[in-house]
Amino acid sequence: MSGLVVKGLTKTYKNGKRALNGVDLEVGPGLYGLLGPNGAGKSTLMRTLAMLQTPDQGTITLDGVDVLKEPDYLRKRLGYLPQQVGAYPGVTARNLLSRFAWLKGRTNQTERDAEVDSLLERVNLEDAAEQEVATYSGGMMRRFGIALALLGAPRLLIVDEPTAGLDPAERNRFHRVLADVASDNIVLLSTHIVEDIENLCSRLAILADGIIVAEGTPEGLCESLHGSLWTRVVPRGEPLPTALHMKAAPGGTRVVVESSSSPGPDFVPHTPCLEDIYYRALGVEEAKAA
Ligand SMILES: Nc1ncnc2c1ncn2[C@@H]1O[C@H](COP(=O)(O)OP(=O)(O)O)[C@@H](O)[C@H]1O
Ligand SMILES: [Mg+2]
- Would 32 be classed as within a structural domain? yes
**Has residue 289 got a pLDDT over 60?**
no
Q: What is the number of the ligand 1 atom nearest to the C-alpha of 210?
A: 14
Judgement on whether residues 201 and 100 belong to the same structural domain of the protein:
yes
| Ligand 2 centroid distance, CA of 38 (Å) | 7
Per-residue pLDDT of 228-267, as tens digits, reads: 999 999 999 999 999 999 999 999 999 999 999 999 999 9
- Would 289 be classed as within a structural domain? no
| Ligand 1 centroid distance, CA of 278 (Å) | 20
Q: What is the number of the ligand 1 atom nearest to the C-alpha of 43?
A: 21
Q: How far apart are the first and last CA of the chain?
A: 50
Q: Which ligand is nearest to the CA of 45?
A: 1
Helix (H) or strand (E) holding 34: strand 30-35
State the residue range of the domain holding 276. 222-282
**Has residue 287 got a pLDDT over 50?**
no
Judgement on whether residues 229 and 144 belong to the same structural domain of the protein:
no
Q: Which residues line ligand 1 (CB under 6 A)?
A: 13, 15, 17, 19, 36, 38-44
Question: Tell me, what's the pLDDT at 171?
Answer: 87
Question: Tell me, what's the pLDDT at 190?
Answer: 95
Q: Domains in the chain: how many in total?
A: 2
For ligand 1, pick from 17, 38, 52, 160 the residue to mutate: most ligand atoms within 8 Å of CB: 17
Judgement on whether residues 38 and 162 belong to the same structural domain of the protein:
yes
pLDDT band at 290 (very low <50, low <70, confident <90, very high): very low
- Would 25 be classed as within a structural domain? yes
What mean pLDDT do residues 62-85 have?
A: 91
**Has residue 288 got a pLDDT over 60?**
no
Q: How far apart are CA 150 and CA 104, in angstroms?
A: 11
- Would 287 be classed as within a structural domain? no
What mean pLDDT do residues 114-141 have?
A: 93
What mean pLDDT do residues 204-212 have?
A: 97
